[in-house]
Amino acid sequence: ILDAVLVVTSLWTISTAVAMLMRGLRRGYGLPVAHFLPLRILASIAGLAAIIVLGLLAFAIDMRSFTQQVVGMACAVALSFALIMILHALAVGRSVSFRSLWPGAALAALALLLIQLLWERTSTLSPSLNQTYGGIAGLVTSMLGVWLAAFAILLGAFVNRWLIDRRGRIPA
């Protein structure tokens, strides 16, 4: 029964985070906040799908050779782009055309790749962080990584809104 409680708690936490991100995306596009229940249902589905897809990607990528690293990074960027496009589309609904979402999603996917590469580089510079600060260091650095990823996704929404405003097609 404890496993079931942990799974439900984890899914609730993930759906809360995705719902907050979707609210931020709607604000970035200048749209009103969506109703709680539809937003929470969409966030739960999107969060669960993202976990499954990213988990499958983690199993599929083998980082032994340089070629495998390049192919793995290309797959990760393509998958990130697709997930961010879907997240933007779910957040804004039909208020913004699907074609207007790709520049910000591409920017966010590339930003996520840059965050990952910088993260790997800095983690090799300080391998004794866990020895110095203990297990809490992993929690704090993970939280920082999630914050940077959310910032990159929201930055993509603001870039899309700026491009839409420049073209003269304001969606709200």
pLDDT digits (tens, 9 = 90+) for 50-78: 777 777 666 655 566 677 677 777 888 88
What is the per-residue pLDDT for 129?
65
CA distance 120 to 114: 10
pTM to 2 decimal places: 0.77
Between vectors from CA 15 to CA 78 and to CA 110, what angle results, nearest 5°? 25
| Helix pair angle (102-125, 66-92), 10° resolution | 130
Contact 91, 83 (CB under 8 A): no
CA–CA separation, 166 vs 168, rounded Å? 5
Q: Are 33 and 23 in contact (CB under 8 A)?
A: yes
Residue 169: its pLDDT value, please?
Answer: 57
CB neighbour list of residue 33: distance below 8 Å, 6 or more residues apart: 23, 26, 27
The rounded Cα 100 to chain-centroid distance in angstroms is: 19
Residue 169, helix vs strand vs coil? coil
Residue 77 near residue 110, CB atoms below 8 Å:
yes
pLDDT tens digits, 1-32: 777 888 788 888 888 888 888 888 888 888 88
